[in-house]
Amino acid sequence: MHVVLVAPEIAANTGNIVRLCANTGASLHLVEPLGFRLDDRHLRRAGLDYHDLATVTVHATLDDALGHGDLAGARCYALSGRGARRYDEAGLGPGDVVVFGAERAGLSPAVLDRFPVDRRLRIPMRPGNRSLNLANAVAVVVYEAWRRAGFSGAGPEEAPGGAVPGPVLAETPGAPPFDR
């Protein structure tokens, strides 16, 4: 799965998405302009040390991103509140590209028009609400695609003796876990 963020504005959201991509095996593509510097402390705080575990590429334009390596020729979807189809109806898979817009404006009509109507996806919400947080929306879609792929690449479900090996639960590497 390839996640493309067009002109993301909030460092902490992007840091959380870096963490998500590292933990799911998705690659992240950022399309300029960025509303922050990549060395922003909020980005580092949200992404912690995950930047070394995630594949993050910065592109000058959306065309550059969509023509990059594995993205060239892949099935591409746009996520928007104006999408015609629910994200879970698209059959998203590991090689697909999902494009998200900036936090405040989403994808512009010009960008959205580049996608066929059946590739414009939305996440259902209750009427009258504005939107989901960008990092939450990306998580919903990425985990659906990963679920459809059988969580390929995930760790073992159960260790000998019934213990489930889990991730490090500390917010900071080397710190005690949250639940202790």
Token code pair at residue 118? 């059946």
Which domain does 52 fall in, by range?
2-155
For the segment 110-145, what is each residue's pLDDT rounded down to a tens digit?
Answer: 999 999 999 999 999 999 888 899 999 999 999 999
pTM of the model: 0.85
**Residue 166 counted as domain residue:** no
The whole-number pLDDT of residue 177 equals: 46
Total domains, the chain: 1
pLDDT of residue 174: 56
Across the strands, what pairs with 102? 106
CATH code, 92: 3.40.1280.10
- Ranges of residues in the chain whose predicted pLDDT is under 50: 176-180
The pLDDT of residue 65 is 97
Contacts (Cβ under 8 Å, ≥6 apart) of 173: 48, 49
In a domain, 175, yes or no: no
Note the pLDDT of residue 179.
40
Residue (of 45, 54, 52, 67) closest to 20 by Cα position = 54
Residue 70 domain-assigned (yes or no)? yes
